[in-house]
Structure 1
Amino acid sequence: MSFYSSPIRLLITLILAVVGGTIFSSFHIPLSWMLGSLTATLVFSRVSSFPLLWPVQLRNVGLLLIGYMLGRSFTKETLLRMVHYLPSMLLLTILILVFSSILAYYVSKVTNINLKSTLTGSIPGGLSQMIVLGEELKGIDLTVVTFIQATRLMAVVFTVPFLASFFSNQERTPMKSILTTFSLHDLFTYIGILLIGLLCAIAGKYFKLPTRFLLGPILITGIFVIAGGTAPHPPDFITDGAQLLMGTYLGLILKPNKLTHKARFSFFATCTAFSLILFSFLSGMLLFLFYDIPITTAFLSVAPGGMAEMAVVAEEVKASLAVVTSFQLFRILFILFLMPPFLRWLFKQAFFKRLEQRTEKQRT
């Protein structure tokens, strides 16, 4: 078997991810298995020419597990409460999008990047979904979109867990107590829900369901719980494994070597990412003040990361998964369904073309 064969590459990637997760876990770093595996694979792939391998299917397994955790947090009471938050969901989503657009405009002014690319890259939607959107629009530099989206995601997953942990005094449930209460009946229920969720995710392809490997188990588990069923809490090694599956994938998607003017653009992309995190924190304070939502839950609800990543953090710090998921899901669905036609319309408008020309003149 060749040293560069797929099984060997996959095994080495897994070993690196486990080592990174173990190191971060030993230092009690928040979200240790996601951040540890992400850091280990990212650093190794930058300093070594060895081609690491982590198929997207493994990431999808992690999404299924996280989707189950999200779905089990929904009850009739929490869903009724979400109706009360709908005006705030809409307002905060629009505010974040406006702020992101302003950041995109200034990044375009000070770099050699066209405004269409920086704007598409700055929209805080899912990484894969925004890349797909970039492929569908004309005049978009996909490398720029990927880099801005990945930089924001990296900033979020490295910053938000520490901020959330700072504001939360909750401790994780010990593994022993979970394992001793996880019965054979719970195991069959857990596996059954995941299998049905997987089937829904596969079927979601034909209905163009966004983030279907996450939404499939969310929908099935949520319906099961609302109907009166009991979804058992998975053991810690399952949730840690889901973190590793996602973190390793995130560590390998960033390809900064393909970007021109890397140092300059990286600086501005990082600045805009942290500016958006700060703006989101201030937005979370509004939820805290007006709805009396705990500050950790409020912050995670509007944090500009992916729904799956924020759900893992919420699980880690014992924030309200139902509230966090509802806000994150609303923003993602809003962006996925409304932003594509809006951007197509916007890019054709005369005032947008004038903005593009203005930024180009200032760069020359």
Structure 2
Amino acid sequence: MRYPSLSTYAIALLGGCMFQLLHIPIPFILGPVTAIVFAKSLFHMESSTFPLARDIAFVLLGIQIGHTFTSDTFTSIFPYMLPYALLSFLMIGICLVIGLGISKRTGMDKTTSMVGSSPGGLSAMIAISESLQGNSGLVTIFHTLRLMSVLFIIPFFVTHMWGGENSAAVDYSLSVDGPLWTVLFYILVFFIGMKGKHKIPAGLVVLPMIVIGAIQTSGLFLYSLPSSLFSASQLMVGTYLGHTIMPREIVRAGKSCFYFLSLSIFIIAVGILFAFLFSFWTGVDIVTSVLALAPGGLVEMSITAGQTGGDPAVVSSLQTIRLLTIVLVLPLLFKRMERHIRM
């Protein structure tokens, strides 16, 4: 194909519009993923994307989530941090134990199996797999299966179980439009995100989210960006995710994929169970709890919260805590266990 990038984005746009017409949750993320994967599988299409478009899209989504923060957000999540951390550690422990069991069942090396079982932190887990001499290709496939399972199960579950009860979607544009000069803050957070994208987990999303959230809570009104810009950024992210999925690699991984897909579905069910416990424990509404305890998909779960009446600021804050826990604690744990997991 002469222009693979243009054809990839065209197919992604078609998928996004189709999912929008069908009223499917987060259509401009799930639609492009589905359309591109089908095109790759059925027509052997070669996909390609523009890295800068992906980076800009992630920054815009960080800005979008940051807009949902209020002066009460940071103080309101403080009482939730301990129960959330305990449930997150328990979820991580369950995943690692099952990963060890998969290793024994399939004969796969423990490094690949346990690193591939982590409930989040794809990029960091690939890096730790490299350092421990695991099979990074399989780790990537297993984490892709987990992420795709989360993206296709959780939004549907939340939308159809509680979407009608919590139908008031969050308006991501500011209620009071700020002066035009505040656009400079958006340019600033773009450079901050780009600077920190290799230094901080999900830095392209997390750093703009924190900066814009802090500005929001300070009482300064920012210039409202059009909602179509945020839809376009979701389309770019969905296109990138679809581009990264290689159907032939999943087929090549064979039986191992079945085990890790089963693990993904199981841990999603565990996350939903924990969400009910978390909601009962803290009083947080069930939609926000389910999305906050989903094993991955910080951006997508926050957007889903905005579309289903959950609290995107709480979801993104707690998901960030989970992500940081995974990428900071697990590499240290795997390093300390290196001698044992290689045996």
- Whether TM-score is above 0.5 comes out as yes
Q: Which residue of 2 aligns with 1:218?
A: 209
Q: What's the TM-score once normalised by structure 2's chain length?
A: 0.91
Q: Which residue of 1 aligns with 2:104?
A: 109
In 2, the alpha carbon distance for the partners of 1:182 and 1:22 equals 30
After TM superposition, list the pairs within 5 Å mapping 1:1-364 onto structure 2. 3-4=1-2, 8-138=3-133, 140-166=134-160, 167-169=162-164, 170-171=166-167, 185=178, 189=182, 191-204=183-196, 208-231=199-222, 234-258=225-249, 262-349=253-340, 352=341, 356=343
C-alpha RMSD of the superposition: 2.4
Task: Check 1:33–1:343 CA distance in 2 against 1; reply closer, same or farther (3 A cut).
Answer: same
Is the partner of 1:75 in helix, strand or coil?
Answer: coil
Which of 261-270 and 165-174 deviates more? Answer: 165-174
The alignment-based identity, stated in percent, is: 26
1:280 CA drift (Å): 0.3
Q: Which residue of 2 aligns with 1:362?
A: none
Q: What's the TM-score once normalised by structure 1's chain length?
A: 0.86
Is the partner of 1:53 in helix, strand or coil?
Answer: coil
Instruction: Spell out, residue by residue over 1:139-177, the C-alpha distance to the aligned partner (whole angstroms, 9 max, x if none).
Output: x101110111000100010011111112232346599x9
In 2, the alpha carbon distance for the partners of 1:217 and 1:254 equals 27
1:188 CA drift (Å): 5.4
Larger Rg: 1
1:19 CA drift (Å): 0.5
In 2, the alpha carbon distance for the partners of 1:161 and 1:280 equals 13
Structure 2: segments with no counterpart, 5+ residues? none
Structure 1: segments with no counterpart, 5+ residues? 357-364
Is the partner of 1:74 in helix, strand or coil?
Answer: coil
Which of 120-129 and 321-330 deviates more? Answer: 120-129
Runs of 4+ in structure 1 over 6 Å off: none
In 2, the alpha carbon distance for the partners of 1:174 and 1:274 equals 28
In 2, the alpha carbon distance for the partners of 1:148 and 1:89 equals 25
Instruction: Spell out, residue by residue over 1:303-333, the C-alpha distance to the aligned partner (whole angstroms, 9 max, x if none).
Output: 0122112112112213111211121011111
Is the partner of 1:348 in helix, strand or coil?
Answer: helix
| 2:188 partner amino acid | I
Is the partner of 2:48 in helix, strand or coil?
Answer: coil
Instruction: Spell out, residue by residue over 1:43-73, the C-alpha distance to the aligned partner (whole angstroms, 9 max, x if none).
Output: 1122233321113332222211111122222
